[in-house]
Amino acid sequence: MLHYTQNNARCEAGDLILMDVAAEYGNYSSDMTRTIPVSGRFCKRQKEVYQAVMRVGKEATKMLIPGVLWKEYHIEVGKIMTSELLGLGLLNKVTVDNQDPKNPAYKKYFMHGTSHHLGLNTHDYGLLEEPMQANMVFTVEPGIYIPEEGFGIRLEDDVVIQEKGEPINLMRNIPMEADHIEELMSK
């Protein structure tokens, strides 16, 4: 599920812990999500989904450039997510071909937005009809939630749009790669 409603279960081997955390500094907020395996290692399926979420995040980050419109950004990220969900066998071509454009098929497994403004508040105010500009700060937080398999994965970093080139990832030094997470967990 996207956000838990009860926090009273024991963490068991095979479970994942999704940590959505933030810090504040100098009156500015951050927002970060990592998903880690309780046992220290992802199972094969968890790792496949984890890597799919990472790929979506990397591609979404590249799209945060000046001039991009919020609505178009989310449409493009939806196409990338759809491709990943097809690869994971969660969607099939018939479902995608017959989807309602107002309710895309990928929303079954990725029901929230990819990014939000970040600033004085964790979910900061921003004009979504205006093009993105250099020095704006956004989260990038794709996720795949699979109730029928009993797990979900979300990964989130904070990035600053640059006048030229790719955005700067403010969380680039915080581990995110699955192998790095497993290595840290083994210690």
Q: What is the DSSP string of 24-75?
A: EETTEE--EEEEEETTSS--HHHHHHHHHHHHHHHHHHHT--TT--HHHHHH
pLDDT one digit per residue (tens) for the chain, 187 residues = 555 667 788 889 999 999 999 888 898 888 999 999 999 999 999 999 999 999 999 999 999 999 999 999 999 999 999 999 999 999 999 999 999 999 999 999 999 989 988 888 777 778 788 999 999 999 999 999 999 999 999 999 999 999 999 999 999 999 999 999 999 999 8
Residue length, the chain?
187
Q: Which CATH class is domain 18-186?
A: alpha beta
Q: pTM of the full predicted structure?
A: 0.93
Using a 10 angstrom Cβ sphere, with 0-12 exposed, 13-18 middle and 19 or more buried, the burial of residue 19 is: exposed
Q: What is the DSSP string of 151-186?
A: EEEE-BEEEE--SSSSPEETTTTS--SHHHHHHHHH
